[in-house]
Structure 1
C-alpha cells in the first residue's frame, strides 16, 4: 500500500524508501507528487529539524532523502521529469561540494550514489545507450541534455572529480561509476580526460615571470593525464567493486579516444602498461570484474580507427589482446550459470571488439565466437510458435538483441562466414521470427543480420528468397508506424535487395518500394533520407529507360536539383551517383538534358560540385556523370562550349586523386575522339598542354618507381597510373591529329 507523506522524518522516509525500491508504480506515485519531491530535494541540504530531535537526525534525514532520490531516478519517467524540473542534480552537487572531514562515510556515500544514479538516468535519456538500443526517444531529452551538459562544465567537474581521491572507497567508487555511466559523447569524454585540479591549472597558466601562458602540450598534467593516473592508482587497490567501477570509467573515457588509449597501452621502459593490468583482471573469478576489464581492454584496442583494407596487418600484441578478450567472453556466453544480463554484456562487448573490423571478425570466427553466439540465440528463440510470448522477460529479449547484433557484426564482411550463418548454424529462422518481436531492439538486430546476409550475392539469390526473409524485412519496411531506428536498419536491407542481381527486385517495385522510398526521402531524418537515396542508386544501376524515367519522375526533377545543393555532402554524393546511373546510356543522357533544365543548368550543377573542395566523393560522382554524358555525341558540343566545365576537367587531371583522374581522362578522350574540331576549345582551356605535360613525364615515371615512391607519389604533373597514362596519350594523339587536319 502506498502511504501519503505528511511530515518528513526518518521513519516516514525509511518507509518511502522501502516502498519505492524496485516498485515502478510507487516511484510514479511519489515522483508525481511535486510537493513531496520538492521537500525531498530541500532535505538533501536543509532537512527539517526540531529542537527535540536526537543527535544524528540531520545526517539520517539527508541519507534517507538521498536514497529515495537515487531510487526515483530510475524506473519512472514521471519521477525523472520531476527531479529535472526541481533541479535535483544541483542540490546534490551543492551537497557534495560542501563535504567536511567530519561528515560520516554513510552520508557521503549516499549523496555521491544519488548523484551517480541521477546522472546515469539523465545520460540514458540523452543517449546513446551503452548496452543495445534505447527503446524510444524520450520527450525529456532536451531537459536531460541541458542537465547532462551542465555536469561536464569545468566548475562542476571541479566539484566531484576530486572525490576520486576520497579516503572512502564507497565515495571514490560512486564517482568512478558516475564517469562510467554518464560519459556518452566525445565532447564530454574530452572534458573529463583533460581535467586536472584547479591548483595545477593555475601553475600551467603561469610562466617564469608569473604571467606567461605555457603551451598546453608542455603541461606536466596534460602530458600524463590526472584522470588516467588517478584511476590507474585506484585500479591497483584490492577492492573488486572499486576495480570494476574504475575499469568501467576507463572504458568510457578511452572509447574512440586514441591519445588516452595509447597512453594506457604503452609504458616507459621498465614499467608495465595499464593494459597489462586490465588484461590480468579479465581472468578474475568475479564475472562483473571480467566484463568490465574486457570492455576496458576492448575500448583501448579499438580506439584507433579500424583498417579499411582486409589486407591490413594486426600486430602480434593486438592479436593476443583480442584473443584474450574473446576467450573470456566466449566462456561467459557459454556458461549456464552466467546470468542473462552478464551474457548480454558479453555479447555487446564482443560486438564492440569486432564491429567494422574485418580482421577481428575473421579472428572471432576462427575462435568459435560465432558458434557460441549462434547456439545461444537459437536456444532462447522458440521457433515452433511464430509469435513470441508477450510476457517474455526483458532480460531474455535484451539477450536475443545482443546475440543477433554480434552475429550481424561478425558476418558483415566475409562470404564464408555468411554461409556458415545460413547453412551451418541455420540462423535465418531465428532472424525471421525476431522481425516480429515486440521489443524494438530485437527487431533492429534482426534487420542488421538480414543486412549482413543480403550482402552476399549467393545468399540473396537463394536463402533470403527461399526462406521469405527478404519479403519479411520488406513488409517491416513498409510499416509507416515502425520505430525510426528499426526503419533505418530495414532500409539498409532494402538497399541490398533492390540491386540488379536480386530476384526480389521486380516484386518490390510492384509492391510499392519506389513510393515508400520517396516518402522516406521527404522526411527530416538524414539517415533515412540517405538510405532512400542509396536504394534509388542501386535500383537505377543497369535499369531500363522506362524504370529510370519512373524513378526520376517519382523523386521529382526539381527535388534532384535541390539534392545537388543539400548541406550534407553524403546526400549530394548519392544524388550525383543516381544521376550517374541515369546517364549510363544515350537515352539516359537525353533524359537528363531534357528534364534538368537544359545544358546550362545541368552543367552548372556539375561544375559547382567538381569545384567544391569539401568532399572528394562528391567530386568523383560528378566527374563520372560528366564522363557518361560525354558518351552521347548529341550533347558533346554543350560540354565543349562550357569553359567552366573544361577548366574543371583540367584541374581534375592535374590535382585530383587517381579515382577521379580516370573518369576525367575518359571524358576528355571521348570528347576529342568524336569532335575533330574541338582543338580550339581544349587549347583555350589548356587541356592540350596538360595532356602533353602528363605524357612527357610518363617515361620517367614508368622507369623510376623507386624515385616516385620515395618522392611521395605524383610529382610535378607526372602521371603514375597506367590507365590514365594510356588514355592521355590517346587523347593527345587525337588532339594533335585533329589540329594537323585543321591546318
Structure 2
C-alpha cells in the first residue's frame, strides 16, 4: 500500500466519502473505499474509530447510489469495494453490525445476489455471511414460503459463496422445531444431503446446516437416517476421516447433534470413541477449529460417565492439562479447556485424581482473575467439579487463603453469571470441613452471601442461600453466630416465602443446619426472630413435599433442644382451640416417605421421657388423635418409619406411666 494511503487520517477519509457521485467522481470514491477497507481489515481499533466518525452510513449511501447508477465498470468496482467494507465492519464487532443494520445495508446486499456479475454476487454473499455470523443479524422466518424459496435458491446455485451464505442464515435463524420441519418439508434437508458430495465449501456448509436442522429434533434426525437408504449418515461418518480439519470437526458436530436428537442412530461405542479421538486430535489445531472442538467435546461427553472413563483411558485429560501450560493460549481456548475438564471431572473420581496430580491447580486459580467473564465462569465450574472429591477437600487444596480470596472476590464481579458460578464453587468447598469454614468466615463472605440472597436474579439468590446452607452445615458456634448476625428476621422470612420453591427449601435447610444441636442458636431464633418460626410452620401447608420436609426438619431440630423449645414446637403444631384436624395428622398420612419419617422424628424429640413436661405433651398428642394414628403405622411400608414408630409408642407409654 502506498505511504500516502497508510498515512491518511480517518477523519480525512470519511470526509472524502461520498464527495463525488458515481458518474462524476466514481474513481475518487473507489480510491477512498479501497483506502478505508485496507485500513480496517483485521483491525478492530480502526473499525471503532471509523464507526464513531459515521463512516458506515456514507458507505451504504455510496453502495445504494452505485446500484442505481448503471452497469459501468466503475460502478461495479464501487459496489464490490462498498460491500467488502461493509462486510469488514461486520466481522467480529457487534457495534459494526449494528451500524450496518441501522444504515439499511442488508436489502442492498441482497440485491447484489441477483447480479449477472460473479464478483458482485461474491462480494454481496461474503458481506451478508459476515453479518449473519452475529447474533444481531435479522432472522429469516422459515415459516414464510418466500424465505424458504430464497434459501433453496441459494443452495441450488453453483456459486459456493451462496451455499455458504445459506448455511450462515440457517444456523442463525432456525431456532424452533416448526422451522426445522418447514425446512425439511420444503426439501432443504434433501438438498443439503446432496451437497455432501459437492466441493469442499459445499460439504462444510451442508454439514453446518444439517447440524442446525436436526438439533434436538428426533423426528428430523430419524428422517435424515432414511434419506438415500441411510447413505446420508454414512457419508457424514466417513467425513470424520477427511483430510481437512474443519470438515472433520463439522462432521463430528453433526453426528453429535444427530446422536443427541435420536440416540439410537449414533449409539455404537465405536463411533462415540472415534468422535472423542478425533476431537482430541483437533485440539492440536491452533485455529478456530481447535478452539471450537473443545466445546463440541463437552457436548459429546456431557452427563455420560462411560464416556468420561473412555476419555481418561484415551489420555484426553492429560492432553487438556498439558494445553493449560501453553503460554500462547487465547481466552476462547482456555474457556473450552476448563469446561472440558470440568465436565470430565464432574462424575468420575479417577478423572479428578488425574487433574489433581497434573499440577494445574495454580493455573485454574489464576483463571479466576482472567479478563474474560466466560473464562472466570469456566474456572469456577472446574473448581466445583474437582471439589466434589472428599479426598481433595480433606487435603486442603481449596482452603488456602489465596484460593478463598479469589473465589470471594468474584462475589463482587460485575457479571451475574460469574457471581453465580463462584457461589456454586464455594458451596462445594465449604460443605464439609471446619477449617475451610473458618477461612471463609474470616474473608467476610457471609455478608456477601446475605447480600446476594436478596438478588432479583433467581439463580443468584438460589446459589447464595445454598452457600449459606452449606456453610452452616456442622459449623461451630462462632460460624453459626456470624451467619445469624448477618441475617435479619425479615431476610429469613422472605427467603422462606420466596417465589421459587427451591429457594424456600434451601432457606429452611439453612435454618435446619443453624439449629441442629445448638441450643444457643435455637434460643436466638425463638427469642429474637419469632417470625421465623411462624414462617416455618406456615410451610407445612405447602404443596411441595421437599419444602414441607425441610420445615419439619427445622421443627424436629428445635424439638431436640430444651424443654421450652419443645413447648414452642408443640404449641405451633397443636395450637389450643384448633377445631380442624391437626397438620401433624396430615403429615403422618403423607405418601412421601421422608416426610413421614421426619414427622415421626419430631414427635420422638417432643416426647423424650427425660424431660419433666413430656407426659403433658403426650397427652396433647393423644387427645389430638396423633397416638391413634401412630398405632396404625407399626407396619408401615418403610422400615425406618416402622421401627421409629414402635420406639415412639414405647416412649409414649413410659410418659403415660410417669403421669399416672
Compute the TM-score of the two structures, normalised by the length of structure 1.
0.73
CA RMSD in angstroms comes to 4.0
Q: Deviations over 1:631-652 (max 9, x none)?
A: 3423232233246997555444
> Is residue 259 from structure 1 mapped to residue 259 from structure 2 by the alignment?
no
Equivalent residues of 1:279, 1:297 under 8 A apart? yes
Within the candidate set 354, 362, 365, 2:301 is matched to: 354
CA separation in 1, counterparts of 2:552 and 2:601? 10
User: Alignment partner for residue 190 of structure 1, among 166, 173, 177?
Assistant: 177
Alignment of 1:650-661 (within 5 A): 650-661=585-596
Matches of residues 708-727 of structure 1 in structure 2 within 5 Å?
720-727=637-644
Q: Which gives a bigger RCO, structure 1 or 2 (Cα 8 Å, sep 6+)?
A: 1
Consecutive unaligned residues of structure 2, counting only runs of 5 or more, are 1-5
Is the 2:399–2:436 Cα contact (8 Å) retained in structure 1? no
1:368 maps to 315
| 2:598 aligned to which of 653, 663, 666 | 663
Quickly say closer, same or farther: Cα 1:15–1:420, change in 2 above 3 A: same
More deviation, 289-298/733-742: 733-742
Pick from 124, 128, 142 the counterpart of residue 115 of structure 1. Answer: 128
Q: What corresponds to 2:205 in structure 1?
A: 245
CA distance in 1, matches of 2:132, 2:475: 53
Rounded Cα–Cα distance in structure 2 between residues aligned with 1:645 and 1:579: 28
Q: How far apart are residue 455 of structure 1 and its match?
A: 2.2
Aligned match for 2:394, one of 453, 461, 474? 461
Q: CA deviation at 1:474?
A: 3.8
Q: Distance in 2 between matches of 1:369 and 1:251?
A: 25
Higher mean alpha-carbon deviation, 22-31 vs 560-569, is at: 22-31
Contact 1:465 1:503 in 2 (8 A): no
Q: Which has the higher helix share?
A: 2
Whether contact under 8 Å (1:397, 1:442) holds in the other structure is yes
Would the alpha carbon gap of residues 500 and 166 (structure 1) be closer, same or farther in structure 2, given more than 3 Å must change?
A: same
User: SS at 2:530's partner residue?
Assistant: coil
Matching of residues 335-350 of structure 1 within 5 Å: 335=284, 338-350=285-297
Q: 2:533: which partner in 1? A: 602
Aligned length: 627
CA spacing shift, 1:429–1:637, aligned 2, 3 Å: closer
How do 1:587-598 residues align onto structure 2 when only pairs under 5 Å count? 587=519, 588-598=521-531
Give the equivalent residue in structure 2 for 1:176.
167
How far does residue 371 in structure 1 lie from its aligned partner after superposition?
A: 1.7
Whole-angstrom distance in 2 between the partners of 1:652 and 1:438? 52
CA distance in 2, matches of 1:733, 1:26: 84
For residues 374-523 of structure 1, the aligned pairs below 5 Å read 374-378=321-325, 380-381=326-327, 396-423=330-357, 425-462=358-395, 464=397, 470-471=403-404, 473-474=406-407, 476-477=409-410, 480=412, 483-501=415-433, 503-523=435-455
Partners of 1:468 and 1:398 lie apart in 2 by 28
Matches within 5 A, 1:46-445: 47=66, 49-50=68-69, 53-55=70-72, 61-89=78-106, 95=111, 106-121=119-134, 123=135, 144=136, 151-152=140-141, 154-155=143-144, 158=148, 160-163=150-153, 165-168=155-158, 169-181=160-172, 188-196=175-183, 226=186, 229-230=189-190, 232-255=192-215, 257-260=216-219, 263=222, 267=226, 271-272=229-230, 275-303=233-261, 317-333=267-283, 335=284, 338-378=285-325, 380-381=326-327, 396-423=330-357, 425-445=358-378
Alpha-carbon shift at residue 365 of structure 1 (Å): 1.2
- Gap change, CA 1:436 and 1:677, over 3 Å in 2: closer
Whole-angstrom CA distance in 2 between matches of 1:734 and 1:258: 59
Measured after TM superposition, the shift of residue 249 of structure 1 is 3.0
Q: Which residue of 1 aligns with 2:40?
A: 20
Mark the CA change 1:591 to 1:331 in structure 2 (over 3 Å): closer, same or farther.
Answer: same
Query: What SS is found at the alignment partner of 2:281?
Result: helix
Q: For the structure 1 residues 691 and 303, does the alpha-carbon distance in structure 2 shift closer, same or farther, using more than 3 Å as the test?
A: farther
Distance of 1:283 and 1:448 partners within structure 2? 33
**Separation in 2, partners of 1:73, 1:108:** 18
- Aligned-partner SS, 1:504: helix
Q: Deviations over 1:107-138 (max 9, x none)?
A: 455434433322322x1xxxxxxxxxxxxxxx
Q: How does 1:571-650 map to 2 (within 5 A)?
A: 571-585=503-517, 587=519, 588-598=521-531, 602-603=533-534, 605-613=535-543, 616-632=545-561, 633-642=566-575, 648-650=583-585
**How far, CA to CA, are the matches of 1:467 and 1:682 in structure 2?**
51
The 1-side partners of 2:467 and 2:262 are apart by 31
Give the equivalent residue in structure 1 for 2:3.
none
Q: Kindly provide the CA deviation profile for residues 279-337 of structure 1, in whole angstroms up to 9, marking residues without a partner as x.
A: 322221110011112122233334589xxxxxxxx99935333211111012222x4xx
Q: Which range is displaced more, 403-412 or 11-20?
A: 11-20
SS in 2 for 1:317: coil
> Does the C-alpha gap of structure 1 residues 261 and 120 become closer, same or farther in structure 2, counting only changes over 3 Å?
same
Change (3 A) 1:301 1:233: closer
Offset from partner CA, 1:553-592 (integer Å, 9 cap, x none):
2022211111122223332222122112123236233332
**Structure 1, unpaired ranges of 5+:** 124-143, 197-223, 306-313, 382-391, 699-718
Secondary structure in structure 2 of the residue aligned to 1:399? helix
Q: Distance in 2 between matches of 1:320 and 1:293?
A: 16
TM-score (norm 2): 0.81
